[in-house]
Chains A and B, each alone.
Chain A
Amino acid sequence: MRTLTSRPAADHRRAVADPAPPRSSAGGPGLGRALGNDAARRLWESAAAGGETLADAERDAGGVPSMAAERPVDFIGPLQSGDTRAVPHDFAGAPPAGVVRSAAFLPTMSVVTPGHPLNDCGGYEYRVRWGIPASESASAGWIVQKVDQNFEAKDCDDHPVAPHAFDDSANYPFWEAWEFTAGQHVWVGPASSGSAHSGDRFITAGYGPGTKGKKTINAEVKTIVGFTLPAGMTVRDAEPAWSLPYTRTEPAQFAGTLRGAAHTLTAEWDCCPSGTVTKRTTVVTNP
């Protein structure tokens, strides 16, 4: 099993030594979010002194802050009404002056089943397991994931193929959630299910011979202490989230907290001309 931690110390050092774009196109955490305590404090001090920070790049790139949200510690104002600068909830020690501790932090991600094809023509499977860092073992709340996608499939005459419901962009984005309780316990849906979390799965059967296409899943996951399920975010026991609380409306506590970790999959296939496999399903994932 390949295990990745969302905030490894080595990543903090690399982020400081080799600044990357503030946010990846795949929805990765902003650099400020990935920083350790010292780096975050330095950036905050630089911002307070009027220095150039990553927030400038974010603004130049067209980022449009929404109202009443937590901003990374390196964000340069003006803050909108209700906005706050924040460090992740698992930030060690006291936050710098003028900065609050976010309700959110990043879960750990362990790849349980690496992304792999289930067949030649678009079927795939991929599974990761969430975890709670030891520093948050006393915390409780929900791991919340926003799932969005792009999908295109055609037949061998380049006519669009009708997507399955799971691949229909009309059904995205959606938000789903796993409750976690003190002791680093993560549950399938609410803790009252009595069903321990095993893995978040992306799995679909594909489209068969005579089709070609590409699917990209862009998900963002964050752990929110004290999260309350909004009205309408309920378990449906149906596709796509099955046993998890699900909603098509962004929860305010998700929108208002620091950016989460990226969780992505891209699958491509080409089973044209019909009866041949020009390109067997390929699957690329992060992590």
Chain B
Amino acid sequence: MSPTEPANPPPHYAVITFTAGRPAITAQGPLSPETFHHQFLDHYALGGERYHPGPAWTLHGALLATDGTTVVSVPILTWPAPDGTTRFLCQATDDGTPPALSVLASSESTLLADLAARLRPFA
């Protein structure tokens, strides 16, 4: 790398939501390289079960994360639960392939708080 070549920025993430038809960045922050790898690049093992959205799911937004060379996206889905409230799920797979990140919440604000806790640099 030459002295003038910019270094890759540290890993970071952003949450984009599509509410009211208008995309907006609703959260963003830094990640540690270890967290980026663990949550977005590594395979995961499974000895139980991961969530599945209900049949009436809709796309609410997406989480984007990058380490400067790789960009990963994880959908954020919502669906009505049997109790009439809405569930928010940020998860892409349930078959052991990355990304491993999985967060379920009963509101958007809770989802964003849980994501921030899960992705904070030294989590």
Contacts and interface: CB of A to CB of B under 8 A. Distances in A.
Interface of A: 118, 125, 147, 164-167, 174, 176, 178, 188-189, 191-205, 217, 237, 239-244, 246
Given A125-B96, A203-B96, A237-B102, A194 B82 contact: yes
List of 7 A-B pairs having minimum Cβ-Cβ separation, nearest first: A194-B81, A166-B45, A241-B48, A240-B47, A195-B51, A204-B45, A203-B96
Contact of A242 (B46, B87, B89): B46
Contacts of B85: 194
Contacts of A239: 44-47
28 contacts: A118-B96, A125-B96, A164-B45, A165-B45, A166-B45, A167-B45, A178-B49, A189-B51, A191-B82, A195-B104, A199-B49, A200-B48, A200-B49, A201-B48, A201-B94, A203-B95, A204-B45, A204-B46, A237-B103, A239-B44, A239-B45, A241-B48, A242-B46, A242-B102, A243-B49, A243-B51, A243-B104, A244-B48
B102 A195 contact: no
Interface of B: 43-54, 79-83, 85, 87, 89, 94-96, 102-104, 106, 118
Indicate the member of A178, A196, A237 with the most B CB atoms within 10 Å.
A237
B45 A193 contact: no
A184 to B, nearest CB: 14
Q: Is the interface of A mostly helix, strand, loop or mixed?
A: mixed
Given A194-B82, A237-B102, A176 B48 contact: yes
Contacts, number: 99
Nearest to B101: A237
A224 B83 CA distance: 23
A147 B45 CA distance: 14
B81 to A, nearest CB: 3
Contacts of B46: 201-204, 239-240, 242
A198 B53 CA distance: 11
Given A240-B45, A243-B102, 13 more contacts: A166-B45, A188-B49, A189-B51, A193-B51, A194-B79, A196-B52, A196-B54, A198-B49, A205-B43, A240-B47, A243-B50, A244-B48, A246-B48
B44 A195 contact: no
Contacts of A240: 45-48
Of the listed residues B48, B80, B96, B103, the one surrounded by the most CB atoms of chain A closer than 10 A to its CB is B48
